[in-house]
Structure formats: structure tokens, C-alpha cells
Structure 1
Amino acid sequence: MSEQFDQSSRWKETPFGVESGESMSIDLEDRDDEFVVTADLPGFDKDDIDVQLTDDTLEIHADHEEEHEEEQEGRYIRQERTRRSMSRSIRLPEAVDKSEVTAEYDNGVLTVTLPKATPSEGGEQVEIE
């Protein structure tokens, strides 16, 4: 039961969305024609990171697993496994052009660039019944 409580207490509501696991520091910057999200993910490899964009939410998940095995003379073997996981959902204040979103990962920093969607010209006439 205490394990369930520990897991549930790892979820935290933030002004940008929901955060779980270890703390993932992010910046959300509005650069007039695009949003730029910068997330600190030290110790993760590029393949450990998953970025998803659904509706008005950017989701970042990072999961890293390591296994160390050390055999010493005699009967003792030391084996350790570590797993780190981070997750963050960021609500975007405006619609973005999903087809133009890019992401880069360099030296533990993930940068996601999300160009804002341009409003369609002319609009669509809606019939009133």
C-alpha cells in the first residue's frame, strides 16, 4: 500500500501541465511565430526519449535502464539495476502546426520547436439550421 502511495505522490500538477517521476525542468518560450520548449534530461540517451504532440499538449517521456554486473573472486557477485523515468505534459497556449514541429537533443538538453498554426484565410461558412 505504501508503494502505491509513493507512486501516486510522484504526480504533480504544474502551471504547464502534469509532471511525474523525477523532476524534469522545462522552459516554455513564446517567440511570436513559434513556441520553444527546452527540457533538461541529463543522463538520458536520445533513444531513451519519446516526444508526442496530441491536440494542445506536448508530452515528453524519458526512460533509462542500466544493469551493472561485477564478479569478484570467491562466491560473491554484485549485480545492480537502475531505472530512471521522467514524464511531463505541457499544455500549449495556442494551436501549433503539427507538421512543422522539430526536436533536437544535445548534451542532456531537449529542444522542441513548435511553429504556431496560422489561421485559415476566409474561414468556413457555417449553415444555421
Structure 2
Amino acid sequence: MTDTDPFSEIERAFDVLTDQFGANLGAVPTDLVETGDEFVVRMDLPGFDTDDIDVTLAEDRKLSVTAERDESAESVDGQYLTRERRRQSLSRTVRLPGPVEDDAAASYDDGVLTVHLPKIVEDEDDEGTDIPVN
């Protein structure tokens, strides 16, 4: 029995559409790399400050990133002739292929967020637990 998440299925469908038709659909460009002992997620978040970014891990397998900023350009000399304000907000959730430890680390440099998520190492010699039958 497989555990299917409808939201990850929707995200996968959007990824397929993007690959086939070149549509951006407002997605945050994201790379997921599996190394020997960790997953590494990289996301392009240009123009944000470190304080604008929130990273959370839920259920050992769902990495959620939200970023929000207020941008304003204003004239400081005299009366305002033009004053423009813009609010930018984005979010992306990545379902990891396996469970990870809680001691993840994130860094943000030159508009790229990098999150290192150590995998939960299962003992390969562990053949399970014997359950006595009465």
C-alpha cells in the first residue's frame, strides 16, 4: 500500500506540464540532490533578505519554504510625484524521497537558498523485531 499525497501529485503534474510546455506557472526554481548521507535542496530566491525567508520541516519529509518582502521606491526630495510599493510573496513545498533528521542546516547566498537535510540512517543489519505468538 502506497501513501499518496494529493498535493505532491498536483505538484508533480505541474512539473510535467512545465517540462512539456515550457510554462513557468510561477514555480520557484528548485533542485533536489541526494548525496550519500543527505538531501540537498537549492532554491532560487533572488532579491530577498535572510530575514524574509522561513524554512520548515514537517513530518520528516516535507520541506516548506516561504519568502515575503515589501519593496518600495520613493522620492525623498519634496512632494511625492510617484510612489510605488510592491509586495512579493512566494512559497514552495518539496516532498523528500526519504525521512530526514531534525538537525538540518540552511544558508542563503547570492539569491540561492541551500538546505542540507541529513538522512535518517537505518541499520541495514536490523531484520526487524521478533514478536512472540501466544
TM-score range for the pair, normalised by the shorter chain length: 0.7 to 0.9
Aligned mate of 1:26, from 21, 24, 30 = 30
Aligned mate of 1:54, from 43, 58, 65 = 58
- 1:14 alignment partner, SS class: helix
Match of residue 10 from structure 2: 13
Larger relative strand fraction: 1
How many angstroms apart in 2 are the aligned matches of 1:103 and 1:17? 26
Match of residue 9 from structure 1: none
Is it true that 1:70 corresponds to 2:75 in the alignment?
yes
Contact 2:74 2:80 in 1 (8 A): no
Contact 1:57 1:90 in 2 (8 A): yes
Letter in 1 for 2:63: L
Q: Unpaired runs of 5+ in structure 1?
A: 1-11
Contact 2:46 2:112 in 1 (8 A): yes
How many angstroms apart in 2 are the aligned matches of 1:49 and 1:16? 26
Structure 1 length-normalised TM = 0.73
Residues 1:22 and 1:44: Cα distance change in structure 2 (over 3 Å): farther
CA deviation string 1:52-72 (max 9, x = no partner): 000110001011111222267
Contact 1:51 1:61 in 2 (8 A): yes
Structure having greater relative contact order (Cα 8 Å, sep ≥ 6): 1
Q: What is the total number of aligned residue pairs between the two structures?
A: 114
Shift of 1:28: 0.3
Match of residue 18 from structure 2: none
Larger relative helix fraction: 2
Shift of 1:77: 2.8
Residues 1:76 and 1:17: Cα distance change in structure 2 (over 3 Å): closer
Is it true that 1:113 corresponds to 2:116 in the alignment?
yes
Residues 1:76 and 1:114: Cα distance change in structure 2 (over 3 Å): closer
The runs of at least 4 aligned residues of structure 1 exceeding 6 Å deviation read: none
1:84-95 correspondence runs (5 A):
84-95=88-99
Shift of 1:104: 0.5
Shift of 1:81: 0.7
Match of residue 6 from structure 1: none
Provide the alpha-carbon RMSD of the alignment.
Answer: 3.0
